[in-house]
Amino acid sequence: MRRQVCIIGGGPSGLLLSQLLHRQGIDSVVLERKTRDYVLSRIRAGILETGMVNLMREAGVSERMDREGYIHEGTVIAHGDDRFGINFKDLTGDHVMIYGQTEVTRDLYDARDAAGGTVIFNAEGVTIHDADSDAPYVTYITEGTEHRIDCDFVAGCDGFHGVSRRTIPLDVRREYEKVYPFGWLGILSETPPVHDELIYAGSDRGFALCSMRNDNLSRYYVQCSLSDSPEDWTDDAFWDELRKRIPQEFADQLITGPSIEKSIAPLRSFVTEPMRWGRLFLCGDAAHIVPPTGAKGLNTAASDIHYLYQGLLQFYHEGDSEGIDRYSEKALARIWKAERFSWATTNLLHRYPDQSPFDLKMQKADVAFLRDNHAAQTAFAQNYVGLPY
């Protein structure tokens, strides 16, 4: 098989790139290690920056998102019972969209099906060959048979544990990482959201987040120990802890119910440089991870897709390699700013095990400064709705 672009990873970033390229007459194939049902079963965040929303529209897959998504023009920050709002619309003229990542992925699969796109599932043993040459190719195994794809370029959209990043030699790549000493316990419940905007709450007991998927599907999180497991937390224990971490006015309004999904996610910040080696390009979690506090995971992947898509268009339509030559530079410049915002927001609201009384006072002062300072709120809002590409 020959394709212009071989995309490794059938999650939202790989599918989005494939769909965008298709609409510009550039052919691709997507290799996914798991099944379609497995990919669609993964529960992920659903806060979309304007840039991601616009890419979905450009890809021709925004109809359901525009119809069912929730526009959010602000958020609530709380510490103890002290809470204040940050109005994105007033501060930036922009907003975010609440639309689940699973729904984004489902819409993209449907679009690739309608276009006759090639997505190969259960692709095992994926190996990238000669990425540093002008003739890369990828091999994989399905049902015991090895197959080969010759291509011009390889897009590694296969996540933190995928093969793409590990293909770049150790003497070429450099990795930067911070592992946080806590995780997030999250539950999904068929209950109405406690508030019409997201609530980011810090407290003496730790962080909590109140989010939603729709009018009767809510997503809640509490900071927890890395040694915890979901089985350690009954639903009642979770709801009791959440009430203690959010302002009393919201705790009194909280409607609880049985969880339909419960999981714990560790938090880390991670970046690998460079994001390009020869004709291999890393996108999304293959190149970088952010803690979920700033809602940047899928959105940083979207910015990578934007830069790579534009570079490939420039290469194929204009015969100019400037966009792909500068892909890593452009992508990383924005990624590090998103990493900074996610790191800073995590530090602002979480309780660390080694915080001194001085550290706690500084944390409260940071929250108070954000509450009282228009410029600080503007900077927060600019980052939250998404920095320009």
Active site residues: 72, 200, 292, 296, 384
Query: Does residue 233 share a domain with residue 216?
Result: yes
Q: Is residue 85 part of a domain?
A: no
pLDDT at 207: 98
Percent of the chain exceeding pLDDT 70 equals 99
Query: Does residue 23 share a domain with residue 131?
Result: yes
pLDDT tens track for 237-261: 999 999 999 999 999 999 999 999 9
Mean pLDDT of 175-196: 96
Query: Does residue 163 share a domain with residue 52?
Result: yes
pLDDT at 214: 83
Alpha carbon separation from 9 to 29, 249, 263, 355 (Å, rounded): 10, 44, 23, 40
Query: Does residue 157 share a domain with residue 38?
Result: yes
Please count the structural domains in the chain: 2
pLDDT at 81: 85
Mean pLDDT of 370-387: 98
Least confident of 118-122, 172-176, 210-214, 274-278: 210-214
pLDDT at 350: 98
Between 29 and 44, the higher pLDDT residue: 29
Q: Long-range contacts of range 217-222, CB-CB < 8 Å, 24 or more positions apart?
A: 217/188, 217/189, 217/190, 217/191, 218/188, 218/189, 218/191, 218/192, 218/193, 218/194, 219/186, 219/187, 219/188, 220/186, 220/187, 220/189, 221/184, 221/185, 221/186, 221/187, 221/292, 222/184, 222/185
Query: Does residue 132 share a domain with residue 229?
Result: no
Among the listed residues 16, 160, 157, 86, the one whose alpha carbon sits nearest the alpha carbon of residue 378? 86
Instruction: State pTM to two decimals.
Output: 0.95
Q: Is residue 280 part of a domain?
A: yes
pLDDT tens track for 42-61: 767 789 999 999 999 999 99
pLDDT at 233: 97
Q: Is residue 78 part of a domain?
A: no
pLDDT tens track for 209-230: 999 888 899 999 999 999 999 9
Mean pLDDT of 91-97: 97
CATH number of the structural domain spanning residue 222: 3.30.9.10
Contact in structure between 238 and 205 (CB atoms under 8 Å)? no
User: How does the average pLDDT of the chain come out, rounded?
Assistant: 96
Full residue range of the structural domain in which residue 295 is found: 2-71+97-178+268-349
pLDDT bucket at 80, cuts 50 / 70 / 90: confident
